[in-house]
Structure 1
Amino acid sequence: MRTGIDRNWPYRRGVRISTRTLNRTYLRRQLLLDDVPNTVPDAVGRLVAVQAQEVDAPYVGLWARLPGFTHGELTAALEDRSVVRGGLLRGTQHLTTAEDYRWLRPLIRAGMGNAGLSAFRRQIEGLELAEIAAAATEALAGRTMTRPQLARALGERFPGREAIALAWAAQHQLSLVHPPPSGTWGRRGHVHVTLAEEWIGAPLRESTAEELLWRYLASCGPATAADLQIWSGVRRLRDAVEALRPRLRVYRDEAGRELFDAPDLDLADPDEPAPVRFLPEFDNLVLSHDDRGRIIASAADRALVCPGYSIVRPTFLVDGFVAGTWSAEPGRLVVAPFRPLADPAPVHAEALRLLEFLRLTDAEVVLEER
C-alpha cells in the first residue's frame, strides 16, 4: 500500500523516449555535443575507456571531443602516467586513467574468463596458465620489455614451446600496460609491456558490476544489460543489473526495449543542435550498444561502418547520426557520405580541420558523390 508519493514511480513503468532523445543524450555524455573544457585525464575518465586499438585513433577521438586539443596533451598524460594503455574492454587496447585501470582491469579480466586464448590453446597445451604468468612476472619485474623480448624470455623458460604464444598467454593473464613510446602519435614498431602495478605505483583493487554499471551509464546511458555486456566484454551481467533495478530509472525506447539509467542523470533536449564531428576507426561511440540505432540510423548504414569482423571504419556525424565514412589517403582525405548531404559546407569545413590535425598539409578534401 502506498503511504506517500513515489517521485520515481513513472520510471518504474518505463517512460518512453525517442531515438533523438537517446541520440542527443548519448552525444552529451560522450563529450560530443558541447565544447567542454576538460583536461585529457578528465575526458578519459568521463568516457571510462578510449579505444586505442589503432595507435593514432585516441588522438583523433579526443580531438573530436576537446576544444583546442593538441597531440602533446595526450602524449604528456601517457608520459606522466595519469593515463595508461592496455588490454581492457572486450580484450582490446584502450586508454584509461591510471586510477580507473586499478579496478577496471581486474573486473574485465575476471568477467572475460579465458576468452581470447583459443588461438594459442594448442601451443600452450599441458602448461598451467598460472605457471606462464609467474614466469612472465619474474621476467618483467622492474623492467619494461618489448613483446619479442618477453617472448624470448618465456621461450627460454619453456623450451620447445612457441615463444610468441607464451607471450600472448602471459599478456592475457597478467595486468600489463604499454608505456611510451608505445601508443604515442605516429609510433609504430614493437609494443612495450610492463607490470601495471609497478608502472602506476599502486596496487590493483577489487570492484563490482555495480561500479561498472554506474560508470557505463554516465558515459553511454540509458542502456540495457545487453548493452553493458557488449561495451565491456563481460558476460552474465543481467542478474547484477536486475539487482540494482530499484535504484535505477527505467525508460523504453521507440521499439519498446527497456533501458536503465542512473536517477541523477538528465536526458538531453532532442532538438539541441549537434555539430559535425569526425571520429576515428573503432571509436566506442559506434561500439557501445547491442542496438546501435541511437547513433547509426539503419542496418544498411551499419554494414558500411562495420563491413566485416574486426573492421570499424572512421566515421563522421551529421545532425548527431553517422552520415558516412572517411579515409586518409596519399594527398587527400576522402569523405564518403551514405547519401547526398543537404549541406556539404559544414562537413567540408570540419574535414579541413581534421586535415590540419592529421598534419596532412599538402592534402585536399575529396567529397565523394552518392
Structure 2
Amino acid sequence: MNFRSFRLPLAALTGLLFLTGCPDKKSAETADSGTPAASALPRAPVFNADSAYAFTAKQVAFGPRVPNSKAHVATGNWLVAKLKGYGLKVMEQPFEAMTFDGTNIRARNIIAQYQPTAARRVAIFGHWDTRPFADDEKDPKKKNAPMDGASDGASAVAVALEMARVLSQQPDSLAPNVGVDFIFFDAEDWGHDDTTQADLKNQLDGSGTDSWCLGSQYWAKNLLPANYKAEYGVLLDMVGAKGGTFTREGLSRSNARGPLDKIWNTATRLGYSDFFLYKDTDSITDDHVYTNQAGIPTLDIYDHPTYGTSFFPAYHHATTDNMSIIDRKTLKAVGQTMVQSLYVE
C-alpha cells in the first residue's frame, strides 16, 4: 500500500497530527455467518475470497507495478478491461508528475461506476501501483529492490474487483440502494521517507505537493467524473495479509465517523470482530487525506499491528510483501463486510 510515508505532519491541512508512515450467471446467493445478528442483516450477495485471491495473484504476476514500466502499463490495461467486462462505466485519467527524486512519470487513475445514474453514491478507493524500492530499515539485504506489493496495493484492488464482479451479477431486484464508484489511484507509493531516505533530497519539498499520493492529489484537483460527489468513501489499503487487523484511524474518525461506525458494526455482526478492532489509533497520511479535502468523507481501512509501536506491519515496503502472506480469510473479512455495508444503506 501505502506509501505511507510515515508521514509528514499535515496539521495545517487538517488540524490533526498525522504520523508518517468466475461464474457468469446472476447469483442470488446471500451472505450469512449463521449467527442471529448476521441473519438480521439485509440480504447481500456472497463475496468470493478465492476470486479475490486470484485477482491479487494476477496483479503480482505482472511484476512490480512501478510507473513507467511495462508491468505497470499491462496491469492498468488489464484493470480497465476487467472493469469494462463487468459492464461498468469506465474512465481513465492520465496524468504526468515528477516524483521526489526528479523522475518524470506517466500515470493514470482508473474510475469505474456501478449504477452510474444512481443519485446516492459510495466511493471505494485504492491504489494500484507499487513502491519502486524496498526500505533499507525493513529490508537491509534488498535495499532499493522492487517489490510485489501483494498486500500493499494488490489486495485492495482485488477486493474492489471482486465487489464489482459480484455487484454486476445481481439482478435489479437484488441491487443495493446506492451507486458504487471504484476509483483506483496511481503513483501513491513513490514517496520520500524521512526515516529510511534521509540521505536523499526530496525535490518536492516546499512545492506544495506531497511526494506521496500523487494520483489522489491529482484527482482531488481534477475530479472525475466532473463535480463528483459521494455520501462517503472507503479507502482500502493493505487488506490481504494473514493476521491482518484494522483499527479506527484518527482522520477516519474525525471525517467519516458515521460510515466508520456502520462498517465496524457490520463487521461485528458478520463475525469479523477479530479483524475489525474497536481500537482507536492516530492519523496517518494516505490517499484519504486528499479525498477528504475533495469533499468526500473518507475512512481508511489498513493493516495496523496490534503489537509494538509500529503503525505498519513488518512486510510494509519490504520484498516480503508477496503472495506468501496473502490470506483468503482476511480478504473474505474485508470483502464481505464491504459488500454487506452497501446493503445496509
TM-score of the superposed pair, with normalisation by structure 2: 0.27
More helix by share: 1
Per chain length, whose mean CA-contact separation is higher, i.e. which structure has more relative contact order (CA < 8 Å, sep 6+)?
Answer: 2
Choose 1 or 2 for highest CA Rg.
1
